[in-house]
């Protein structure tokens, strides 16, 4: 049986069926991401402390550039079909898929960096001060703790006053274990860890590693969803977005691999399929255009 | 809405983001004096300008295709 209105518009809607279908689907996607954005806003305005500067801006910028470029190439691939140029379509579509893979590779690199970066909370302010002094020097230790805390939390939040009891030291554990927790380290019969603290605010010079007694630690967490509300919502939204990128890349790859067959059978239908795929791809990219400033900059 | 119309909307949003991010980074540069902030700011503003030129080229190239 022939599926009706795959090429010609339906008289009542003025659109071919797939285009109406994708817009209905995108409307549901707007509600999905809209709900998550709303959650982000409500969690953020309701939080006493909300971190800032936890993500790498140049990497995020690069990924934004990659997605904008992929939107240009996907629309060029569609335009090439409209102009009857199958080879140009293949070239642009391959570039789009490469951009999608590039985005996902950079994102996985970014995730890995988060999963191996740790915050350590100490049992009290005096213990925290001892380790900050060991890391940043006897004289500069307390000032470094204050600065790191204020730079992480003070922006856009007048409630975020310095509290020595809430101070955490950030850095890397020797061997860069993935998603380690205090419970796991204690279960492995570890009593101490070698910890390389982050560079003081505004510099790139990491202090020498310090030895941290696990008996002084009250909590230890890598930057995983359970670290904080910030990372929970960050991973929820970006992972969902990443899945959309992956899904889009799979569909676009299918179009590329079956293009010859469809071109011979019905070139207009191929162009319409690519248009529908391109609309989804643009939606995914538009979500990122909002995500990038919200998560990385504001 | 066709892919052409959605693309115009997307490029408009990208231009707005590019110039805003350029301003954000250059404003940051005034306090941090970090070269990375300056280059990101300049690069972003240039990207915004390139995207405007591309948008005009795109509209000319696809002038015979419907917005629906």
Average pLDDT rounded to a whole number, residues B10-19: 97
Average pLDDT rounded to a whole number, residues A67-86: 95
Q: ∠A272-A275-A279 over CA atoms, to 5°? A: 145
Write the residue in B3, B24, B68 that is nearest to A14 by C-beta. B68
How do residues A192-230 score in pLDDT, each as one tens digit? 999 998 887 767 778 888 899 999 999 999 999 999 999
Is residue B26 within 8 angstroms of chain A, CB to CB?
no
Is residue B22 within 8 angstroms of chain A, CB to CB?
no
Q: Which residues of B touch A72 (CB under 8 A)?
A: 54
Q: How many CB pairs under 8 A join A and B?
A: 57
Q: What is the pLDDT of residue B51?
A: 97
Average pLDDT rounded to a whole number, residues A273-287: 97
- Say yes or no for a CB contact (<8 Å) between B1 and A293: no
What is the DSSP code string of A1-64?
Answer: -PPTTSSSPPTTTSS-HHHHHHHHHHHHHHHHHHHHHHHHHHHHHH-S----S-S-HHHHHHHH
Task: Give the SS3 label for residue A174.
Answer: coil
Q: Which residues of B touch A78 (CB under 8 A)?
A: 3
Interface of A with B in 17-76 (CB under 8 A): 19, 23, 57-58, 61, 64-65, 68, 71-72, 75
Q: Is the pLDDT of residue A26 over 70?
A: yes
How do residues A132-190 score in pLDDT, each as one tens digit? 888 888 777 677 777 777 677 765 555 556 666 667 888 899 988 998 899 999 999 99
Q: What is the pLDDT of residue A70?
A: 97
Average pLDDT rounded to a whole number, residues A69-92: 96
Question: For residue A79, what pLDDT band results from cuts at 50, 70 and 90?
Answer: very high
Distance from CA of A130 to the nearest CA of B (A): 29
Q: What is the ipTM of this complex?
A: 0.94
For chain A, give the mean pLDDT: 90
The runs of H, that is alpha helices, within A221-266 are: 229-257, 259-265
Strand segments (E) across A78-216 = 118-122, 168-173, 192-197, 210-213
User: Which of A158, A124, A129, A127 is closest to A141 using CA atoms?
Assistant: A129
Interface of A with B in 252-291 (CB under 8 A): 275, 278-279, 282-283, 285-286, 289
- Say yes or no for a CB contact (<8 Å) between B17 and A289: yes
How do residues A233-278 score in pLDDT, each as one tens digit? 999 999 999 999 999 999 999 999 999 999 999 999 999 999 999 9
The answer to whether A119 touches A168, Cβ cutoff 8 Å, is yes
- Say yes or no for a CB contact (<8 Å) between B3 and A278: yes
Taken in order of first residue, the domains within chain A and their CATH numbers are 17-114+229-297 (1.20.120.80), 118-222 (no CATH)
> Which residue in B has a C-alpha nearest to residue A277's C-alpha?
B3
| Residue A87: Cβ-neighbour burial (10 angstroms; 0-12, 13-18, 19+) | exposed
């Amino acid at each position: 049986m022939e599926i009706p209105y795959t090429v010609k518009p339906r008289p009542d809607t003025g659109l071919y069926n797939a285009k109406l279908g994708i817009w209905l689907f995108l409307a549901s996607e707007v509600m999905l991401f809209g709900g998550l954005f709303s959650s982000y806003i409500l969690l953020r305005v309701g939080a006493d402390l909300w971190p800032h500067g936890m993500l790498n801006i140049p990497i995020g910028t690069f990924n934004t550039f990659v997605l904008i470029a992929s939107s240009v190439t996907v629309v060029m691939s569609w335009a090439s079909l409209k102009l009857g140029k199958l080879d140009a379509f293949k070239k642009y579509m391959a570039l789009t898929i490469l951009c999608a893979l590039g985005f996902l590779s950079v994102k996985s690199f970014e995730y890995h960096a988060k999963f191996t970066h740790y915050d350590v909370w100490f049992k009290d302010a005096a213990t925290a001060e001892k380790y900050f002094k060991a890391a940043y020097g006897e004289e500069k230790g307390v000032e470094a703790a204050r600065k790191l805390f204020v730079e992480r939390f003070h922006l856009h939040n007048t409630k975020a006053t310095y509290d020595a009891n809430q101070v955490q030291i950030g850095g890397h554990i020797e061997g860069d274990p993935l998603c380690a927790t205090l419970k796991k380290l204690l279960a492995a019969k570890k009593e101490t860890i070698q910890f390389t603290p982050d560079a003081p605010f505004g510099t790139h010079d990491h202090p020498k590693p310090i030895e941290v007694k696990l008996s002084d630690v009250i909590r230890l967490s890598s930057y995983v969803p359970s670290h904080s509300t910030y990372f929970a919502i960050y991973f929820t939204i970006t992972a969902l977005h990443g899945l959309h990128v992956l899904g889009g890349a799979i569909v676009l790859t299918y179009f590329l691999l079956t293009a010859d067959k469809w071109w011979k059978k019905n070139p207009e239908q191929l162009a319409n399929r690519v248009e529908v795929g391109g609309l989804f791809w643009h939606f995914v990219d538009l979500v990122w255009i909002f995500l990038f400033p919200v998560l990385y900059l504001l | 809405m066709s892919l052409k119309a959605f693309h115009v909307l997307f490029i408009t949003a990208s231009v707005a983001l590019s110039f805003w991010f350029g301003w954000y980074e250059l404003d940051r540069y005034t306090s941090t004096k970090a070269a990375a902030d300056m280059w990101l700011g300049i690069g972003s503003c240039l990207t915004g300008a390139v995207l405007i030129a591309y948008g005009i080229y795109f509209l000319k190239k696809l002038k015979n295709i419907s917005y629906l």
